[in-house]
Amino acid sequence: RSDISYVRTIITQGDSFKYFAPVSEPSSSWKNLNFDDDSWLQGVSGFGYADGDDATIVPNGTQSLYTRIKFNMSDIDNLVSLILDVDYDDGFVAYINGIEVARANINGTPPLFDAGTIVDHEAQMYDGGKPERFLIDNPDNVLIHGENILTIQLHNISTTSSDLTLIPFLSAVFSAPTSLGIDPPDILGLTNGNLHTNFKISSKSET
């Protein structure tokens, strides 16, 4: 069959991000690849506080957190689809190269830096659950050959919230083998396509 696929995770838990907790509205260019983030802090995902799954702990009551991570997509010609999995508390907006590709539980385009989320939303992974999946339509429209950037603005429901979480995964499905990324973590449930035949062998007499 021709629809054999090869899944690779490009961004995974524990990867290093630049991050910033704003106290005023940041420049709209913060989402762009060429934005100067030298003054931002650096830490590994997950981000947050109070859930026990936070590799980078931010202060209790943080209202919003802006994160940036660059990734390579040199095999873009064989790209079939792009998948974003996010474990979050309470809401977020995600962008690739400055273009919004996913959001959950937050209003505003873009949301203001001090915006609260619509409702309270609990992270899942720390309690044995899975991150929420977002399929990115038409990835060719947002990706460029070579270096790209995923940026996510995370929002809390309020400054009195008891917890905050962000753990993103970005995976890509290719039509041919590639050296990009890593095998998908088991928690994502993404597997490479298997070869299929259009016949079967009887268990009674055939070999």
Residue 138: its pLDDT value, please?
A: 86
pLDDT by residue for the chain (207 residues), tens only, comes to 445 689 999 999 999 999 999 999 999 999 999 999 999 999 999 999 999 999 999 999 999 999 999 999 998 999 999 999 999 999 999 999 999 999 999 999 999 999 999 999 999 999 999 999 999 988 999 999 999 999 999 999 999 999 999 999 999 999 899 999 999 999 999 976 655 556 667 767 776
Residue 1: its pLDDT value, please?
A: 45
Closest by CA to 118, choosing from 90, 81, 139, 80, is: 90
Residue 168: its pLDDT value, please?
A: 98
Provide the Cα torsion 100, 124, 19, 50; round to 10°: 150
CA of 107: how far to CAs of 52, 117, 164, 168, 172, in Å?
28, 7, 18, 20, 28
Contact 174, 74 (CB under 8 A): no
Strands 47-49 and 56-57, sheet pairing? parallel
Distance CA(155)–CA(153), nearest Å, equals 7
Compute the C-alpha angle 26/172/185, nearest 5°.
Answer: 95
